[in-house]
Structure 1
Amino acid sequence: MRILCIGDVVGKNGCEFLRKKLPSLKKIKSIDLTICNGENASDGNGITPTSADHIFTSGADIITLGNHTFRRKEFYSYLDEKPYIIRPANFPNSTTPGVGYCKYDMGRVTVGVVNVMGNSFMDNILDCPFRTMDKVLEELDDCKIKIVDFHAEATGEKRAMGYYLDGKVTAVFGTHTHVQTADEEILPNGTGYITDVGMTGPINSVLGVKPEIIISKLRNKLPERFDYADGDCKMDCVIFDIDDKTAVTKDIERIELR
């Protein structure tokens, strides 16, 4: 089985570039399942029902989210209505819409997909992601293949989660920093891992935002409205090649499409 995981889609330009590149990539690489992080898919930050629908109709099977999940109130009911869009599992279930994992039945095998968020250097301090994963994995006991999107800032926290889940899940891919890392590997017990899969959006930007805005914010220490950059885009992603019988990762291919 070949599972494609796509880095954070940023704004309208990122959504349009995803639609341009994803269908042909799935065909060329014989992709069985596509997971896409969409928490920044709407211009002005966050995600809306319209941008989520765009990602699904472009070819994604499952959308994962992150710290901007609840930026748009019009998105709250969508989270409860759609089973294959998931927010970080360590948001409190009693007060926040949606769920943190889903089960995707592919006939020959059921794939469990988890979204969880780190705490280091993040605005939202949530329940411990490690203890959250312990609880979620109990719920996914009937899923042979398990894929985790760890939405986190700190490289050390991501690496620690990779080793914590090694042998417990099939693959762990990081999101949130929007910069693709060159450390894809298969951990000692067979779990595929990459610290951050990257971003889908404008190349000449600071994490998708116009550079001059970020420079002004950092120099002047004043709030700035984040407007997404224009121009040529890229799509960062990774393919996990998985043994259906053992549920371990056999190979990883890191890709940047321009």
Structure 2
Amino acid sequence: MSSVTANVLMIGDIVGAPGLRALFTFLPSLIKKTEADLVIANGENALKGFGIGEEEIAAMRSYGVDVITSGNHVWERKEAADLLEAEPALLRPANYPRSLPGRGVAHIEGQSAPGLPAPTRASGASGHFEWLVVNLQGRRELYDIDCPFAKADQILANAARENPGALIVVDFHAESNEEKEALAWYLDGRASVVAGTHTHVPTADERTLPKGTGYLTDLGMTGPVDSVIGMNGDICVRRFLTQIPYKMETAEGSAAIMGALFRIDPESRRCVGIERVYKSL
């Protein structure tokens, strides 16, 4: 086992302006404290709770996010297609049809293979590791897109040929906890990390699976605390009472950042430590 770990900080779904405010407030100090070599954040709710725009991407990148993952809400805005084509750091789930714009995998260059520029950290973290960030979406209670298990096989087989030294990190955007656990079990020993997003509710089941994959069912959300999964609580209650789909709005007020730090042994590629993150304004 190496005496140095490769550290990836993963941030749960960023919800609207409150989420961006929490990210701005806490992320720089978290990067320094954790010596994060790579920062991944799910940004599909960054623009008023639904979708993401150019300004939100620029803000997240300036705060220290290296790769922005997403999910079903990335398609909410009309500019989504252009952004997904133009911004290499923005991912959409890889198991959407190939005909759609964008990409579902980000390769972060290492010492031996080119890709997105390796992050440079003021914290002193090395940033010299090679990474492959994979964005997948579940199908249970969501959309009948391509199989995430089969797509993961395809991506990992390609990585074994083209990027054999990369540390593989998966953001699995899914509703079903069972589906999330099943994918992690399926990828155990092949990916260093599998972390879930989408529900906006953080789980406390962090663990390293038998063959070395670090796992957490859901990273939670980075957004308003006094809310219903980031949305205005009164509107959410009204929707349940009346069964009328009133337009959802991002809640206001205090916000929190949620996520987890995964420490990986770069030699064995096993996850050797997981620390959940929760800080509120």
* TM-score of the pair, normalised by structure 1: 0.97
Pairwise mapping of residues 72-87 of structure 1 onto structure 2 (< 5 A)? Answer: 72-87=77-92
Indicate conservation of the 8 Å contact 1:49/1:75, yes or no: no
> Which residue, 185, 191, 194 being the options, matches 2:207?
185
**Correspondent of 1:151 among 170, 173, 181:** 173
What CA distance in whole angstroms lies between the structure 1 residues aligned with 2:22 and 2:257?
7
Shift of 1:126: 0.7
- In structure 2, the residue matched to 1:14 is 19
TM-score (norm: length of structure 2) = 0.89
Is 1:120 equivalent to 2:120 in the alignment? no
Residue 132 of structure 1 is matched in structure 2 by 151
Q: Secondary structure at the match of 1:160?
A: helix
- Name the counterpart of 2:93: 88
Identity over aligned pairs, percent? 41
2:279 counterpart residue number: 257
Letter in 2 for 1:118: G
Question: What is the number of residues matched between the two proteins?
Answer: 256
- The Cα shift of 1:44 comes to 4.8
Distance 1:140 1:102 in 2: 11
| Structure 2: tracts of 5 or more residues without a match | 1-5, 112-127
Match of 1:111 among 114, 118, 131: 131
CA deviations 1:126-170 (Å, max 9, x no partner) are 111111111111222214300000000011001101100000100
Whole-angstrom distance in 2 between the partners of 1:57 and 1:76: 22
User: Is the 1:144–1:247 Cα contact (8 Å) retained in structure 2?
Assistant: no
In 1, Cα distance between equivalents of 2:25 and 2:129: 29
Q: 1:162 aligns with which of 181, 184, 188?
A: 184
Which of 202, 216, 229 aligns to 1:207? It is 229
1:54 paired to 2:59: yes
2:46 aligns with: 41
Give the counterpart of 2:101 among 97, 101, 105.
97
Distance in structure 1 (CA, Å) of the matches to 2:172 and 2:231: 22
TM-superposed CA distance for 1:219, in Å, is 1.3
**The one of 30, 33, 38 aligned to 2:35:** 30
Rounded Cα–Cα distance in structure 2 between residues aligned with 1:22 and 1:48: 20
User: Over aligned residue pairs, what C-alpha RMSD do you find?
Assistant: 1.0
User: Does the Cα contact within 8 Å between 1:102 and 1:113 map onto a contact in 2?
Assistant: yes
Cα drift, residue 255 of structure 1: 1.3
Q: CA deviation at 1:102?
A: 1.1
CA offset digits 1:74-108 (Å, max 9, x no partner) = 121111112121100011011x1101101001434
1:172 is matched by which residue type in structure 2?
Answer: V
- What is the Cα deviation at residue 49 of structure 1? 1.3
Q: Which runs of 4+ in 1 moved over 4 A?
A: none
Aligned residue in 1 for 2:3: none
**Bigger Cα displacement from structure 2, 79-88 vs 113-122:** 79-88
